[in-house]
Chains A and B, each alone.
Chain A
């Protein structure tokens, strides 16, 4: 019997917890991807080792389809794993996680297909693959090279499972709505109405004037907090600005030209946060060395 959605998530968390990953919980503000979570973006800066696993809801307003398309959602889940530094046998560990949820790598055709990742709002890029199982893309695998415009000191491996795709594969379902989340409860039961309402909000109802104001407010608040030596709260402001930008984009309120400049503004915030975060880390290491 194939694992249901929640069993699959549990199995992956257990698998990575057994490999010394800290099991984190989703972050408290809207993120476009698990990479934005400070447990990835900030923790992958600097020299300190770090291993974590967590589920992250991805909020992508433009991907909503009013609950009409069984493949596109403005809200879905990723399971994110960070191994820093990336161990030599990282791929074997990853393939082991597929076995742990019942994918027999001898019977299936598992493939690593070139996919270079770039996160323009984070000033980040890395090289890696999308992982195919019998032609289905179930994971993004990235070796980070730059974050916040800075070369990483230690290369982390980022493993991002697309949980709905993976579950559709495991449960042999052609639509995310039909996934069994828990016995007697489908993914559609949980999220279909939410997709409809949020799509209406994202595409039609969100107040553009309010969002425009919020973007500049978040931007200046981020700067102010950085000046106060608080890169962690400042980073939340950058994340909120990023989400507001995504909403404005979904509302069609941003032309292509403006788009590039909004992205650059968020990237500037992310870069400043990354620099200050690193500097704070160095100061505390220096202090520890003195003590």
Chain B
């Protein structure tokens, strides 16, 4: 079976666009060619696929109108297919025509255009009047069916931009080797392996800002080189050096004054020297700004925050610092965290953070250390943005955890107040990450985060995060626990866990009783206060006594944070409530008796309701 090549030749594509195309090419191949590709070869200047395609054989039945519509429709259908009406055949009640399958050579051109035009990208441009939109200009297409050309496409490609020119691709099967001879490695996986091997050979390389996926698509002929910078720059904080290397230059730190980078060719000595100069220039610039910041000092930087707007309509960073100090107080933070809150945002006034936003926090900590603040304060400043990813590490210090929580509470509060809540996949201010971080600080971090510190909308958004975060707890238990009157975030999570941990047979009775009590009690007129004098059935008194005993037990257990005990206490009501619904007719004839029984049910609801809104949990879910 013949092998088909399609290559779309472009001016240098952004790495993100290459990944977008790589993901779509298999399904486009199936749709347009009817087969999955054998290989997808992508890089900055070319998107290519190789596919084994089948020459269609035999005849094709083209179905036309039903026989019953012969009069009206047969002539038109026959004409469209170039046959006389009487030549139409009948199959299963339809007219139709048998046509020989179209040879591959005739359909391929259209199919390949379909692939080119079917690629969808986040950001595209025009470059001429062809009407085609693509992330960067398409300059050629090359196609071969084995050794044959494909109409509408060329048979040549271009090698390395600076060392090789246009080259003929003799056959689809020769595509990769033709390019390799022209200084281009077309296979992204091979380029990645070459880069990794090259980096490994140079030493213990690191990629803290994760630049490698982009670098793979910044080169066609990877040449991994190393360089050194003047040791005087080692006086800069490590994070500053790494950020200068990675954020713009996409270099990989090798430790000490060494770095690695991936070139696309050139004379290694010339290219190395040039890159060393560039990095030294950047480090020189960073040193210059670092020294200026140090000279100003962190307190001076903090004093400038009043002129830097934090968020349109949410005041300046000085206002934000004030709010952080109050939040830290409310979170019970000690002296170190209060001092850290005051200094936390000072580095927003530094020149270095304006240059390298990734350094916020860590560089503020350096400036705090330089000014002689205690390590607890500096560490908290450094840790304020943690956790910075869903599974990332939490702050290691207690003041760090308090400050990190305060920062997230403020960011969420301000953003929601200004109407910037995340929608769908859009979350430009990282509010989901902040909310998840806050939840994790409350659970894993053991920090007490009073729910009253969160405005209602924010509390809802934050507590919803537990639904995804507590893996072993079904979401309904989280929803139930959120309605409980527990004072802090961590308690919501632990109560949900305790509710979910109660065995089914013990949960079922109180769950049923809660739902029945709520429904009946809320539907009818109930007495304002329970009157034991109106009890006529022994079970009524048993329930009242049990409530009187259990209610304070639940309250105490919730108070001390012993949620298993609280749930256990509630579960003890199960048997007596079960008997109550068996023995007692709530809707008694006598209105006063009935209203008293309804009151009893509302008390049941309220007592169990301290554990949360159990009605959130579906029947049989326990």
Q: Report whether A172 and B277 are in contact in the complex, using a CB–CB cutoff of 8 Å.
A: yes
Interface string of B462-489 (1 = CB under 8 A from A): 0000000000000000000000000000
Q: Which residues of chain A are near B223, meaning CB under 8 Å? A: 109
Q: Which residues of chain A have C-beta atoms less than 8 A from B125's C-beta?
A: 126-127, 143, 145, 155
B123 within 8 A of A: yes
B389 adjacent to chain A (CB < 8 Å): no
Q: Is the CB of A108 within 8 A of B274?
A: yes
Q: Report A-chain residues with C-beta under 8 Å of the C-beta of B249.
A: 135
Contacting residues, chain B, for A109 (C-beta < 8 A):
223, 263-266, 271, 274
Chain B contacts of A135 at CB under 8 A?
Answer: 249, 261, 274-275, 278-279
Whether A112 lies near B309 (C-beta < 8 A) is no
Question: Which A residues between 23 and 48 are near B, CB-CB below 8 angstroms?
Answer: none
Task: Give every chain B residue within 8 A of A228 (Cβ-Cβ).
Answer: none
Residue of B nearest to A133 (CB): B274
- Hey, which chain A residues are within 8 Å of B136, CB to CB? 127
Query: Of the candidates A71, A72, A143, A252, which one forms a contact with B127 in the assembled complex, judged by CB atoms under 8 Å apart?
Result: A143
Report the bound CA distance from A68 to B137 in whole Å: 42
Q: How far is B136's CA from A155's CA once the two chains are assembled, in angstroms?
A: 12
A:120-153 near B, CB below 8 Å: 126-127, 129, 133-136, 143, 145
Majority DSSP secondary structure for residues of A touching B: loop
Q: Is A227 engaged at the interface, CB distance under 8 Å to the other chain?
A: no
Please give, as numbers and ranges, the residues of chain B lying within 8 Å of A126 by CB-CB distance: 125
Min C-beta distance of B142 to chain A, whole Å: 16
Contacts of B46-65 to chain A: CB distance below 8 A: none
A165-204: CB near B (< 8 Å → 1, else 0) gives 0000100101000000000000000000000000000000
Alpha-carbon distance A70/B16, docked complex (angstroms) = 34
Q: Which of A72, A114, A257 contacts B309 (CB 8 A)?
A: A257
Interface flag for B429 (CB, 8 Å): no
Q: Are A256 and B275 in contact (CB-based, < 8 A)?
A: no
Q: Does A113 contact B (CB under 8 A)?
A: yes
A234 CB to closest chain B CB, in angstroms?
A: 28
A139 to chain B, nearest CB (A): 13
State whether the Cβ of A85 lies closer than 8 Å to any Cβ in chain B: yes
In the complex, the chain B residue whose C-beta lies closest to that of A126 is B125
B156 to chain A: closest CB distance in Å? 15
Task: Using known A-B contacts A71-B285, A107-B270, determine if residue A112 contacts B127 with beta carbons closer than 8 Å.
Answer: no
Determine if A114 and B266 form an interchain contact, defined as CB atoms under 8 angstroms apart.
Answer: no
| Chain B residues within 8 Å of A113, by CB | 12, 218
Residue B313 interfacial (CB < 8 Å): yes
* CA A86 to CA B127, docked complex, whole Å: 7
CA A116 – CA B308 in complex, angstroms? 27
Closest to A91 in B: B11
- Bound complex: CA of A243 vs CA of B275, how far in Å? 35
- Name the residue of chain A whose CB is nearest to the CB of B124: A127
Closest to B313 in A: A257
Query: Once the chains are docked, how many angstroms separate the CA of A273 from the CA of B11?
Result: 33
Known: A108-B274, A112-B12. A85 touches B128 (CB 8 A): yes
Q: Residue of A at shortest CB range from B249?
A: A135
User: In the complex, how many angstroms separate the beta carbon of B166 from the nearest chain A beta carbon?
Assistant: 12
Question: Whole-angstrom distance from the CB of B399 to the nearest CB of chain A?
Answer: 29
Which chain A residue shows the least CB distance to B225? A109
Interface check B288, CB cutoff 8 A: yes
With A and B bound together, what is the CA distance between A71 and B123 in angstroms? 33
A69–B135 CB distance below 8 A: no
In the complex with contacts A134-B266, A257-B313, A114-B278 CB distance below 8 A = no
Tally of A-B Cβ pairs under 8 angstroms: 105
Q: Which residue of B lies closest to A255 (CB)?
A: B309
Measured between beta carbons, the chain B residues less than 8 angstroms from A116 are: 123
- Per the bound structure, the CA–CA distance linking A227 and B270 in Å amounts to 58
**Contact of B139 with A88 in the complex, beta carbons under 8 Å:** yes
Report the bound CA distance from A112 to B128 in whole Å: 20
- Decide yes or no whether A111 CB sits under 8 A from chain B: yes
Q: CA of A143 to CA of B123 in the docked complex: distance in angstroms?
A: 13
How many angstroms from the CA of A85 to the CA of B130 in the assembled complex? 13
For B304, give the chain A residue with the smallest CB separation.
Answer: A252
In the complex, whether A105 has a CB less than 8 A from a CB of chain B is yes
Tell me the bound Cα distance from A70 to B460 in angstroms.
Answer: 52
The size class of the interface chain A forms with chain B is 35 or more
0 or 1 for each of B1-45: is its CB under 8 Å from A? (1 = yes): 000000000011011100000000000000000000000000010
| Least Cβ–Cβ distance between B340 and chain A, in angstroms | 25
Residues on the A chain within 8 Å of B16, using CB: 114
Q: How far is the CA of A126 from the CA of B139 in the complex (A)?
A: 18
Any B CB within 8 A of the CB of A260: yes
A234-270 interface with B by 8 A CB criterion? 252, 255-257, 260
User: Which listed residue, A68, A108, A112, A154, touches B271 by the CB 8 Å rule?
Assistant: A108
**Which residues of B sit under 8 angstroms from A257, Cβ to Cβ?**
309, 312-313
CB distance from A140 to the nearest CB of B (A): 14
**Set of chain A residues within 8 Å of B288, measured between Cβ atoms:** 68-69, 71
Chain B residue nearest to A72 in the complex (CB): B285
Pick from B128, B218, B278: contact of A155, CB below 8 A. Answer: B128
Nearest chain B CB to A65 CB, angstrom units: 8
B307 close to chain A: CB less than 8 A: yes
The docked-state distance in angstroms from the alpha carbon of A114 to that of B280 is: 23
Quote the shortest CB–CB distance from B477 to chain A (angstroms).
Answer: 43
A86-B127, A110-B162, A111-B218 known; A134-B271 Cβ under 8 A: yes
CA separation between A168 and B266, bound complex, in Å? 19
Contact A145 B123, CB 8 Å, known A109-B264, A109-B274: no
> Whole-angstrom distance from the CB of A70 to the nearest CB of chain B?
8
B231 interface residue, CB < 8 Å from A?
no
Q: In the complex, which residues 117-155 of chain B have their Cβ closer than 8 Å to any Cβ of chain A?
A: 123, 125-129, 135-137, 139
Closest B residue to A252 using CB positions: B307
B284 on the A face (CB < 8 A)? yes
Contact at A111–B264, with CB atoms within 8 Å?
yes
CB nearest neighbor in A for B314? A257
The docked-state distance in angstroms from the alpha carbon of A260 to that of B219 is 38
Bound state CA distance, A241 and B134, in angstroms? 36
- Selected from B44, B137, B307, the residue in CB contact (under 8 A) with A143 is B137
A-B contact pairs, 11 of them (CB 8 A): A71-B281, A108-B270, A109-B223, A110-B264, A126-B125, A127-B125, A134-B270, A134-B271, A134-B275, A134-B278, A257-B313
Instruction: Give the 4 A-B residue pairs with the shortest CB-CB distance, closest first.
Output: A134-B274, A256-B309, A114-B14, A109-B266
Taking A95-B161, A109-B274, A136-B274 as known contacts, 18 extra A-B pairs with beta carbons closer than 8 A to each other, sorted by chain A number, are A69-B285, A69-B288, A71-B281, A91-B11, A106-B162, A107-B267, A108-B267, A113-B12, A114-B14, A133-B274, A136-B277, A136-B278, A143-B125, A155-B125, A155-B126, A155-B127, A172-B277, A255-B309
